[in-house]
Amino acid sequence: MLKVGITGGIGSGKSTVSKIFELLGVPVYYADERAKDILVRDPELAAAVRQHFGPETYDAHGALNRKYLGNIVFNDKEKLALLNSLVHPATIRDSNLWASQQNTPYVLKEAALLFESESFHYLDKIIGVYAPQPLRILRVMKRDNVTREEVLARMHKQIDESIKMRLCDYVIRNDEQQLVIPQVLALHQQLLQLATAT
C-alpha cells in the first residue's frame, strides 16, 4: 500500500483538499486530531507529558488540560520542542498502525508538520497544498477569528512555504485562480496507477 502525505502551511486548505480525497474513497489520517486523542489515550505518552509538564496537565478524570499546556508551550520554544519530541513519535506509531489496517491502494496522512516532525520518512510520496501568503492570512483570520499578527506568529513556527513546496512530490494550487477538484482527480488517478504498479 502506498502511503501519501499531504501538507501545507496554515490556511493553505490542506484539510479541504483531504476531504475531496475522502469523497473519492481514500482513507485520511488527520494527524493533528489524532495527536490530541493520543495525548489522552496513550498511557506511556500521558505519563511522559505529566513528568515534563506537571500533574496539572491532566485533570482527575485523565482529560488533558489544553489551556494549561498551551500556556506553557506557546510561550516557550524549548518547551514546545520538548512536547513535539514526545507527541510526534507516538503519532507516527499510531499512523503506521492505522495505515496497516486500511484496505485501499493508497492512504493519506494529513499533517501541517510532516517535514518538521520527520514523519515524511515513513511516507512514499508527499502532496503539498499551496496558497499565497496574503490569501492564507485572510483565511485563517476569518476561520479562527484572530488578528493578522497572531496568524503571522503561527506561520513563523512552520517551514517557509516555498521551501515546503519544493520538498513535495506533487503540488495542488489552492489559490482561487485554479479549480481544485480537477487537480485532485488527476492526482488521484496518478496515485492509483503508482499504487498498482508497485
Sheet holding 2-7, edge to edge: 28-30, 106-110, 2-7, 125-130, 170-173
Instruction: Count other Cβ atoms within 10 Å, centred on residue 68.
Output: 14
Residues belonging to the binding site are: 11-16
Both ends of the chain: CA-CA distance in Å?
8
- Does an H or E element contain 175, and which? none
Dist. CA 43–CA 21, nearest whole Å: 32
Residues belonging to the binding site for ATP are: 11-16
All cell numbers assigned to 195: 499504487
